[in-house]
Amino acid sequence: MIRIINNSRDPYYNLALEEYVVTAMPEGEDYFILWQNEPTIVVGRNQNTIEEINLAFVERRGIKVVRRMSGGGAVYHDHGNLNYTFVVQEEGRFHKFDVFTRYLIDTLRKLGIQAENSGRNDITINGRKFSGNAQFKRGKRLLHHGTILFNSSLDVMVEALNVNPEKIISKGIKSVKSRVTNIKEHLNMPLDIIEFKELLYATVFEAENEISTYYLSDTDQKAISNLRNTKYDSWDWVFGSSPPFTVQKKGGFDWGNIDIRLSINQGYITECKIYGDFFAAQDIEGLEMRFAGLAYRKDVFHKNITSEIITAYWPSAKVDEIIQLLF
């Protein structure tokens, strides 16, 4: 096992690094990475980004959003969260999560904390989740990565993520916050995240005589940065890769009530219908046609839908309130 040192907290770079290790690092070697992100939501490969995040809150707080290669659900990262990644030869280990989660469980046991695998891909302490895990397979290689809530801001996490209420109901609990926990809550000794990181390293490599470390070269970093800029930090990957979905937005104003329904595919509006009890100055189908074809992005609407366009249909409306309703 080779340890790769990565001190970046840029989520777009860090996800690009994972892909680079899977696709470009020498085969026949196994790799392990510990890394952190600035406040970020990471959505699963097959998720609809818009549905998974509280967009207004995320934008207001400056939280980054990125899509990863692996499936599974959306997760929140911040400086109190530690992430771990294994890139290994697949060798029949796909979907065998416990092969990799055992290192984290063993580390906690050394600290007097009893953790266990739960459900499909979680690790829990006293029934409360502190780690979610996901996998990605390409050719003969397998990537396994997971989150570790050490001392994260759970209040921000709850606000930032739109968690499917069915996940809460099925577990018989009252809220998202009640089903998650930080490791720090269970420690009986002072320990910070850097010290915990070293303990996890020691557990992963304890069967080896020494830790073999790889530092990314200038060539590596250039290739990773290119992948970061062209893929992971692109709107097409983060939002445009979402599956087709529909959006319904309702609002009440002095000039009437509106109900806007959008069909969206690959991040672009394919159809728009507007209903309500308003009085339109001209046929509302004209505005529906204006919306169709636009990327479902606030900046695109600000650029393409002007006050003159909106008031041509709703003379008393303000363009900002319409865009605010849509996003």
| For range 311-324, the mean pLDDT | 95
* pLDDT tens-digit map of 91-141: 888 989 999 999 999 999 999 999 999 988 999 999 999 999 999 999 999
How confident is the model at residue 209, as a pLDDT? 80
* pLDDT tens-digit map of 217-248: 999 999 999 999 999 999 999 998 888 999 99
How confident is the model at residue 166, as a pLDDT? 47
DSSP secondary structure code for residue 130 in this structure: E
How confident is the model at residue 170, as a pLDDT? 40
Give me the chain's average pLDDT, please. 92
Task: Delimit the domains of the chain by residue range.
Answer: 2-240, 245-326
Is 80 exceeded by the pLDDT of residue 280?
A: yes
| For range 161-174, the mean pLDDT | 51
How confident is the model at residue 182, as a pLDDT? 97
Is 90 exceeded by the pLDDT of residue 143?
A: yes
% of the chain beyond a pLDDT of 70: 95
- pTM summary value: 0.84
| For range 193-218, the mean pLDDT | 93
Half-sphere exposure for 32 (CA within 13 Å, toward CB): 17
Is 90 exceeded by the pLDDT of residue 58?
A: yes
Instruction: Tell me how far apart the alpha carbons of residues 190 and 187 are, in angstroms, rounded to a whole number.
Output: 7
2-240 against 245-326: fold identical: no
How confident is the model at residue 164, as a pLDDT? 55
Residue 26, judged by CB atoms within 10 A of its CB (0-12, 13-18, 19+), counts as exposed
% of the chain beyond a pLDDT of 90: 84
Is 50 exceeded by the pLDDT of residue 175?
A: no
Phi/psi-derived region of residue 264, left when phi > 0, alpha when psi is between -120 and 50, beta in every other case: beta
In CATH, what is the architecture of 2-240?
Answer: 2-Layer Sandwich (3.30)
Instruction: Tell me how far apart the alpha carbons of residues 193 and 235 are, in angstroms, rounded to a whole number.
Output: 32
- Residue 172: pLDDT band (50, 70, 90) is very low
- Residue 177: pLDDT band (50, 70, 90) is low
Query: For residues 85 and 143, is the Cβ–Cβ distance under 8 A?
Result: yes
How confident is the model at residue 208, as a pLDDT? 83
Q: Identify which has the larger pLDDT, 270 or 46.
A: 270
Instruction: Give helix 98-110 / helix 193-204 axis angle, nearest 10°.
Output: 120
Is 80 exceeded by the pLDDT of residue 197?
A: yes
The CATH number assigned to the domain with range 245-326 reads 3.30.390.50
Residues 6+ apart with CB under 8 A from 24: 223
